[in-house]
Amino acid sequence: MWLVGPGFEFLSGLSVYTCRLANALAEEHDVSVVLLRKLIPARLYPGGKRTGDDLTSLSYDERVRVAGEVDWYWGAELGAVVRRLKRERPDVLVLQWWTAATLHTYLVLARAARQAGVPVVLEFHETQDTGEASVPLVAGYCRRVMPRLLAKASGALVHNRHDLELLRGTYGAALDHLTVEIAPHGPYDHLPPAPATDADADVTRLLFFGLIRPYKGVEDLVSAFNALSAEDAARFTLTVVGETWEGWTKPAELIAASPHADRITFVNRYVSDEEAGRFFADADALVLPYRRGSASGPLQIAMSGGIHVLLYAVGGLVEAVADYPGAVLLPPDDVTALRAALLDLPDRRAERFADPHSWAATTAAVDRLTTALTAAARTTPAAV
């Protein structure tokens, strides 16, 4: 099978997911990847200054072949990939979907696959990135052109039932012909091991980790922390780690003005895997007050580490933690409830939990869908 997704040049959670999924599938399958190297011009990318930095400890399994690397402006490499795809005719072509920046490239690859009789699967992580969806021209482009890509697909993968309903509400009848499987998000247990630092046994260590964007709700966490009394705040430390996107500086402003600023550490950048491992090793609880969400890489890291998780009960995150005993779901946008949940943590801070998730559940869903589509493809002539 062939997977298409972002490489490590523009490092993101989807870069990690593509690598982890490919490596997991390589345990049982012949896997090739096409990596999207430069997604957009670096000057337009919110994390453009770090593009190309060596920040991850991940690498592709030696059994995974890189069939090509393609930039947004294409060049000769896209043609070489198309010819290779038509020549090799894999059982299935899986396209990782989250941003309209990939749409023009995916249309070419999907058309080539259809011509070769190769089923096309879209694995949905978002209907569209929230930041670009707020840009009228980009949102309009996606609405007009996405149905063309859906028409070339035979199947879809989603992480949970919420995402499936969201997709149906967005694209309606354009999804009716697709065979759909729910593929739960696999664990992120790849961070380099880091010993926990010596910590005061009476202090509960809170962590927010991830991009700082309007929908992440970091300001709710800081507001809840700021509302603690001085006596209560002395029982906690708060570490906020993340790169600011979309000019969302409200969390930084609240941190700077906090009456408990001496209890807060703010690392306002994209950190390496080695650093991330240390931050999670030093945390008792991850707090994710997202206002919406389908999945979360930091959530997967926290569950792999067995720490407490506090999060708003929104979107697909409810299903993501349904079988994780360390999760506390809170009413969305309720800072008072979030503050109360923080105060409940100290007596339980040392508890750790087993992560019930595995990549086997994800690859099993891919296998079910691939089997169904390849069987159908044998009886269906190649399409133009």
Asked if residue 61 lies in contact with residue 26, where contact means CB atoms within 8 angstroms, the answer is yes
Instruction: From 10, 18, 34, 25, select the one nearest 123 (Cα to Cα).
Output: 18
| CATH superfamily placement of domain 2-186+359-378 | Glycogen Phosphorylase B; (3.40.50.2000)
Residue 288 has phi, psi (to 5 degrees) of: -130, 85
CATH of domain 204-348: 3.40.50.2000
Distance separating alpha carbons of residues 282 and 287, to the nearest angstrom = 14
Confidence (pLDDT) at 378: 66
Q: What is the pLDDT of residue 133?
A: 74
Would you state the pLDDT for residue 213? 96
Contact 320, 288 (CB under 8 A): no
CB 253 within 8 A of CB 226: no
Q: How many angstroms separate the Cα of 8 from the Cα of each of 123, 297, 305?
A: 19, 15, 24
Q: Which residues of the chain have pLDDT under 70?
A: 196, 198-199, 377-384
Q: In the numeric block, which tokens belong to residue 361?
A: 């559940």
- E strands, 258-304, are 264-267, 285-288
Q: pLDDT tens digits, residue range 254-296?
A: 999 999 999 999 999 999 999 999 999 999 999 999 999 889 9
Q: Name the residue type at position 175.
A: L
* Contact indicator for 287, 213 with CB cutoff of 8 Å: no
Copy the structure tokens of residue 84.
Answer: 């290779």
Question: Do the two domains 2-186+359-378 and 204-348 of this chain adopt the same fold?
Answer: yes
Alpha helix locations (H) across 177-246?
218-226, 230-233
Alpha carbon 231 to its chain centroid, in Å, reads 37
Cross-strand partners of 155: 121, 179
Q: Where are the domains of the chain?
A: 2-186+359-378, 204-348
pLDDT for residue 91: 95
Closest CA to 33 of 59, 72, 7: 7
Q: Is 128 helix (H, G, I), strand (E, B) or coil?
A: coil
Please tell me whether residue 14 adopts helix, strand or coil conformation: helix
